[in-house]
């Protein structure tokens, strides 16, 4: 599981209060990043993360998706940043849909979410039209920071604890600079 996926799981688990199942293997080298269920409302979520801070690959794009280009090493990163990649491979592959069904995620009965480091406006419009929510990873980090500040809880989850400590260090940095320590 990638670090960004761990952060997203920690966010939905501890900030949103949802139950989670990460990294579900599907046939044919497919994988579901995260399934989540809100125990209060019983809403179900299929969450896929595609976070990159590389300048040319940070935003989710509307560039054409190609299974063939995904197999070409120098083109793969760009393919994984297209909305088509998520629609076709992460949400729409038959093996993914079969696995979702085994977990009780039936078509039209769960929400699809893509976590990204921003997106092109055209990608946002098409995602919305396809019933896919987009979450900005930067907003998730901010929400974790605000939540941990309000709750002052000691998180035992290593990922969430690291983000919590980092957020606190950033917040205290101006005070420390004034004090010279």
Say if residue 91 is exposed, middle or buried (CB neighbours under 10 Å; 0-12, 13-18, 19+).
Answer: buried
Q: Domain containing 71 — which CATH number?
A: 3.40.1350.10
Instruction: Note the pLDDT of residue 77.
Output: 82
Instruction: Note the pLDDT of residue 131.
Output: 96
Domain span at residue 84 reads 3-179
Instruction: Note the pLDDT of residue 96.
Output: 97
Instruction: Note the pLDDT of residue 157.
Output: 79
Sheet holding 132-136, edge to edge: 19-26, 30-37, 44-50, 111-116, 132-136
DSSP state of 14: I
Instruction: Note the pLDDT of residue 162.
Output: 84
DSSP string, 23-61: EEEETTTEEEEEEEE-TTT--EEEEEEE---SGGGSSBB
pLDDT digits (tens, 9 = 90+) for 66-107: 888 888 888 888 888 899 999 999 999 999 999 999 999 999
Q: How crowded is residue 155: how many other Cβ atoms within 10 Å of its Cβ?
A: 17
Instruction: Note the pLDDT of residue 108.
Output: 94
DSSP string, 72-92: SHHHHHHHTTBHHHIIIIIIS
List the structure tokens of 13: 């688990």
Count of structural domains within the chain: 1
Residues with pLDDT less than 70, the chain: 55-56, 150-155, 176, 180-181
């Amino acid at each position: 599981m990638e670090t960004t996926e761990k952060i997203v799981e920690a966010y939905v688990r501890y900030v949103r209060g949802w139950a989670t199942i990460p990294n579900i293997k599907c046939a044919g080298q497919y994988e579901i990043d995260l399934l989540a269920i809100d125990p209060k409302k019983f809403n179900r979520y299929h969450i896929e993360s595609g976070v990159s801070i590389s300048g040319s690959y940070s935003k989710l794009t509307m560039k054409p998706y190609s299974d063939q280009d995904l197999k070409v090493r120098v083109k793969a990163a760009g393919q994984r940043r297209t909305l088509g990649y998520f629609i076709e491979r992460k949400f729409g592959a038959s093996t993914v849909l079969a696995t979702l069904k085994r977990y009780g995620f039936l078509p039209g009965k769960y929400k699809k979410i893509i976590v990204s480091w921003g997106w092109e406006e055209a990608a946002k419009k098409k995602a919305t039209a396809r019933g896919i929510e987009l979450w900005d990873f930067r907003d998730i980090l901010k929400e974790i920071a605000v939540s941990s500040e309000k709750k002052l809880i000691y998180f035992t989850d290593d990922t969430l604890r690291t983000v919590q400590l980092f957020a606190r260090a950033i917040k205290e940095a101006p005070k420390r600079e004034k004090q010279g320590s």
